[in-house]
Structures are given as C-alpha cells and as structure tokens.
Amino acid sequence: MLSVVSAQADKVVASGKPLKLYEAYSTNPDCSSAGNVVVRVVQSPEHGRVSIRPAGVFPRFPETNIRSVCNRRRVPGVLATYVSQRGYLGPDFVVLEVLFPAGSGGRIRFPIRVM
C-alpha cells in the first residue's frame, strides 16, 4: 500500500510559467544512481499540464547521511513540472505517484495557485 501525503503548502506560480513540482532521485554513496525512480501523474490538473522527464538534480541529504557528499553535484533523477493554461488564474490540483527502486513509494498531492 502506498502512503498519501500533501505538499507542505500550496505551490504558487504565474499563469503560463513553469513550476517545479517535484524532483526525485535514488542515489548510492558514490553519487551514482541506485536505480530508476518512477514518477507518474495519478490525477491530472484541470487547468494545465504536467511534464515528467529525466534530469540531473541536486539531492538534499542531511549532513549525517553518508550521501550528503552528493549534495554539491547533480545526480540522475526525475523532474516533474507544471504549466497552467495561458491566461488561467485560480486554483489547480495535481496528484503524483512516486515509486523508488527499493520498493517504497507514495502519492503526493499538490494544491497549486495560479496568479
């Protein structure tokens, strides 16, 4: 069973501009990839679109984690980006599902305010 969590706060973005929703990575202590992370849209936005693509991302491991040495360089990951319909102003909503190579995963709800 996957856990469902909500983003900490509404994401805010200007109409028609890209918004980084989420980035994910699975990293070995030597900063190489520990496998592919799968990110997919479970609930599409009503007033925009989400693109998901492989990307180099900067991880955010705590200093106590052996992988924290990787925080200063890009590692293989996945990036999810939202763009509203041009001219749209108001709320939107996206749900992403994330599956990590070791078998864990979850769903994340993203309330979005387009201004």
CATH code of the domain in which 14 resides: 2.60.40
The pTM score is 0.86
93 is written with which tokens?
A: 């909503």
**What is the C-alpha to C-alpha distance for residues 110 and 5, in angstroms, rounded to an integer?**
9
According to the model, what pLDDT value does residue 3 have?
Answer: 44
Range of the domain at 12: 3-114
According to the model, what pLDDT value does residue 7 have?
Answer: 57
68 is written with which tokens?
A: 């924290």
Per-residue pLDDT of the chain (115 residues; tens, 9 = 90+): 344 455 556 889 999 999 999 999 999 999 999 999 999 999 999 999 999 999 999 999 999 999 999 999 999 999 999 999 999 999 999 999 999 999 999 999 999 999 9
**CA terminus-to-terminus distance, the chain:** 36
Q: Could you give the number of structural domains in the chain?
A: 1
